[in-house]
Structure 1
Amino acid sequence: MGTRHTYRVIVRGVWDGLTDEARQRLLAEVDAHGLDALRFTEEGSLAYDAALRRFSYRFVVVCDAEEGEEMAAMIAEERAEAALRALGYGHRDLTSSTTDMDTMKINDRGRRAAGAASRR
Structure 2
Amino acid sequence: MSTRTFRITVRGSFDALTADQHAELLAAAPEHEVLRAAYTAEGHLAYDLGFGPFFTFRFLDSGEAEEDILDATARAELAAESRLGERGYGFKRLTSRAQDLSLAPLSKRQRQAAARGTA
TM-score normalized by structure 2? 0.81
2:47 match: 48
Q: What is the correspondence of 1:29-40 to structure 2 with a 5 Å cutoff?
A: 29-40=28-39
In structure 1, the gaps of 5 or more residues are 114-120
CA–CA distance in 1 between the matches of 2:29 and 2:39? 18
Q: Write out per-residue CA displacement over residues 81-116 of structure 1, whole angstroms, 9 at most, x where no aligned residue.
A: 011111221111110111101222213xx2139xxx
Aligned length: 110
**Tell me, what secondary structure is at the counterpart of 2:103?**
coil
Q: Give the match for residue 89 of structure 2.
A: 89
Runs ≥4 residues deviating over 3 A: none
In the alignment, structure 2 segments of 5+ residues that lack a partner are 114-119
* Alignment pair present for 1:22 and 2:21: yes
Distance 2:10 2:103 in 1: 20
Aligned to 2:61: 61
Q: Aligned residues: percent identity?
A: 36
Q: CA deviation at 1:64?
A: 4.0
| More displaced 10-residue stretch of structure 1: 64-73 or 87-96 | 64-73
Query: What are the Cα deviations for residues 20-49 of structure 1, in whole angstroms up to 9, with x where unaligned?
Result: 211110011112211222111111100100
- Kindly report the root-mean-square deviation, in angstroms, between the aligned alpha carbons of the 2 structures: 2.0
- 1:117: which partner in 2? none
- Aligned partners of 1:48 and 1:55 also within 8 Å: yes
Letter in 2 for 1:63: G
- Pairwise CA distance, 1:66: 4.6
